[in-house]
Amino acid sequence: MKEKLHPVMFAGTGSDVGKSVIATAFCRIFRQDGYSPAPFKAQNMALNSFATPEGLEIGRAQAVQAEAAGIPCHTDMNPLLLKPQSDHTSQVVLNGKPVGNRDAYDYFRKEGREELRSAVCEAFDRLAARYNPIVMEGAGSLAEINLRDSDLVNVPMAIHAGADIILVGDIDRGGVFASVYGSVMLLPPEERKYIKGIIINKFRGDMRLFEEGRKMLEELCGVPVLGVVPYVKDIHIEEEDSVALAAKSAAAERGKVNIAVVLLRHISNFTDFDSLERDPRVHLFYSDNPAEISKADIVILPGSKSTLDDLYWLRRGGVAQAILRARREGATVLGICGGYQMMGRMILDPHNIEGEIGSMPGLALLPTVTEMLPGKVTRQVEFRLSKGAAALSPGLEGISGPMEGYEIHMGTTTPAEDAAASPLNIISGGTEDGFMVDAKCMGTYIHGILDNPSFVDFLLAPHAEKHSGSAEAFDYHAFKEQQYDRLADHVRRYVDVEKLYNILKGE
């Protein structure tokens, strides 16, 4: 049995400094070295979530880190999840279940924080009893001094856990000396002692030019710089932030199937499309430009945290008309989750789940009606294509075989009164999922459906003439495992892992 290590928290000088990726790397490194690590982030804010095997909801980043650690994800890894619904309000998910909506001011007040603090600490304690070490992730900046009294996720959580804090700074954005030194010095002296090391992330250029800077930081902060990690573009780890999606090229490519994912204002679970991005038969891009969308071979309407608001936006901006025009001209249209709801004739919200709009007509691509309901469906599923769907592509290998995915949605979708059921999928146990008009018009509630090579083959089949016949289906699971190993190798090369082990052993 491996010796017990202290928990380690990778905290940041700010948001998007790369602490999530560094934590993912160490989940894989500790696993490679014979430990049994598990990820933990007390509070996460993200629209990109995942369903655990128990059918509960956590942030996608901790699901990715659990995958890197080689263990099933669990709500104890992310007991508190905030899912933004507007600029001011979020749905609060506690231990995997929604407990209501809160505006930011109300949520971050001191009153009522102890109940949440107890919940996240109890989750950590349960996790720490089973795994070694716990790889913790902070949120935003370590030194949000205006929120210190209500902080659940940074230094107070590290103190509860007895964790060693490694501060991650982003040199690519500039000002790394000020951000690292400022983060340390803004903490009270009794909290600074928990910071045991610094990692400088996203370095570009000749590493030798930073040697003097490394020594300066160590002298200023009184803690060692454990490593300077270069910026990499060719290692692909699923992201939680959708900021970079619009930068992915929308220019059509010849010899490939061009797929447009509609860039909704409240897009969620955009990691549904990571596997398609790596498929050599496909050129995938994100766009809210009607001209670009109308020229795609396949248009995908993704999930949304505010379906009615995004549906209104589609109509107002001309995107809805572009989708309909693409369908008329032979493109495939696929809706996933909220996108599936938008493809129907009508969305009803009698309980005002999403706001004051009681109903809104959909795109009428599917003869379905959706009703928003208070309860949320969260579960992992095994499914097969329905007989009707499989019959459309009889020559495809494994087309009738089992596939896996997960559901996270509010509302139910049923055929309209004048329409017969035409499910896209059959979930194990016999439940029907989705609706299919033909091989080029369909919707589903299943996230992760595109991680299944046989479903991607089914989706691409009507456009086979667009891509090279020699291109093979993409094995996304094997690809992800390879990326975790490559990330671990990269971090090992530039971080003094032995010194980190000494820190975590209390030496």
The catalytic site residues sit at 337, 447
Evaluate the CA torsion angle 397, 401, 404, 408 in order and state its sign. Answer: positive
Q: Which of 31, 14, 47, 37 minimizes the C-alpha distance to 271?
A: 47
Rounded to whole angstroms, the Cα distance separating 178 from 167 reads 13
Task: Scan for tokens 């050599």, then name that residue.
Answer: 280
Element holding 230 (H helix, E strand): strand 225-230
Residues contacting residue 232 through CB under 8 Å, at least 6 positions apart: 490
Q: How would DSSP label each residue in 248-305?
A: S--S--TTSEEEEEE--TTEE-GGGGHHHHH-TTEEEEEE--HHHHHT-SEEEE-EES
Do residues 30 and 37 lie in contact, with contact meaning Cβ atoms separated by under 8 Å? yes
The helix-helix angle for 19-32 and 476-494 (nearest 10°) equals 90
The number of beta carbons lying within 10 Å of the beta carbon of residue 408 is: 22
Q: Which residues contact 114 (CB under 8 A, 6 or more apart)?
A: none
Cβ burial, residue 42 (10 Å; 0-12/13-18/19+): buried
CA 420 distance to own-chain centroid: 35
Q: Which helix (H) or strand (E) holds 410?
A: strand 403-415
* Element of type H or E holding 119: helix 113-128
CA 28 distance to own-chain centroid: 18
Instruction: Say whether 235 sits in a helix, a strand or coil.
Output: coil
Q: Which residues pair with 468 in a beta bridge?
A: none
The pairing of beta strand 298-301 with beta strand 257-262: parallel
Cα dist from 50 to 26, 58, 247, 350, 449, whole Å: 21, 6, 24, 27, 13
The answer to whether 98 and 378 are in contact (CB under 8 A) is no
Residue 455 makes CB contacts below 8 A (sequence gap 6+) with 385, 403, 449
